[in-house]
Amino acid sequence: MGSKLAQMRRNFRLTTAAALAGLAALAATPAAARIFYVIQSGPDSWTVMDAQGVEPVPGTVFRKAWAVRVQRNILAGDPPQPGYVRTLSEYDCDAHRTRWREFTVFSRSGATLVSKVNPNPEWGPSDEAGDTYAAYRVICEGVGGGAVVAADSVAKVVIGLMGAWDPPPAAALPAITAATPVAPATKPGAAAAKPPAAAKPPGAKPAPAKVTPAKVAPTGTTAAKPPPAKAAPAKPKA
């Protein structure tokens, strides 16, 4: 149990650090910057409040304001898909109670998933839920209980928080180059292998053998006769 609790605390710190790092990258124009409170209202959710968006409810002592709850898994599916819920609530700071008037659920891309108006708003305790109590403290106690950031709009804050749950980009693999083939080494003194004879193209006819013509004596001439043999000298009679 102790190891599981320690892991949950570690994940909480890592998520908080990642979210704050993403919000630090928000660049707000000084003239258009607004102050937003960012409170982690659960292990996988954040509540964003506009510090300048609190309004009185006419004819009452109540106050009303919009709150945006950013969730890691808006549809409870697998894999998780971030999204956010924009809720208009009323706050009775003297009696420590709240009631919601309407809400709209959005996907990460901004598409509307669910929208509902409360037909019978009823009061409930301010600490009924984590995001409700976080918003109550901002409205009635004037404390954020988390980070205070400046941005041009609440949309930029929401986008930065949803990006904190994105997995880190995969490292690029090194480029693979083709290896140059290397000829095998030959032993010293060995004769170099002769390259194979080039193959003849199919259909080629063999070259005709050369025939040397026989020499013929010219017409009208007579072949020379060999000289006559010399007769042996006659022996004298006895």
State the SS3 of 98-139. EEEEEEEEEECCCCEEEEEECCCCCCEECCCCHHHHHHHHHH
Which secondary-structure segment (H or E) carries 161? helix 154-163
Confirm whether 37 is domain-assigned.
yes
pLDDT in tens, 97-135: 999 999 999 999 999 999 999 999 999 999 998 888 889
Confirm whether 23 is domain-assigned.
yes
Confirm whether 13 is domain-assigned.
yes
Confirm whether 90 is domain-assigned.
yes
pLDDT in tens, 23-54: 544 444 555 688 899 988 788 999 999 878 89
Can you tell me the distance from the alpha carbon of 138 to that of 52, in angstroms, rounded to the nearest whole number?
A: 11
Confirm whether 156 is domain-assigned.
yes
Domain holding 69, by residue range, is 2-163
Confirm whether 194 is domain-assigned.
no
Extract the residue ranges of the chain whose pLDDT is less than 50.
Answer: 1-2, 4-9, 11-14, 17-18, 21-22, 24-28, 238
Number of domains into which the chain is organized: 1
CATH number at residue 74: 2.40.128
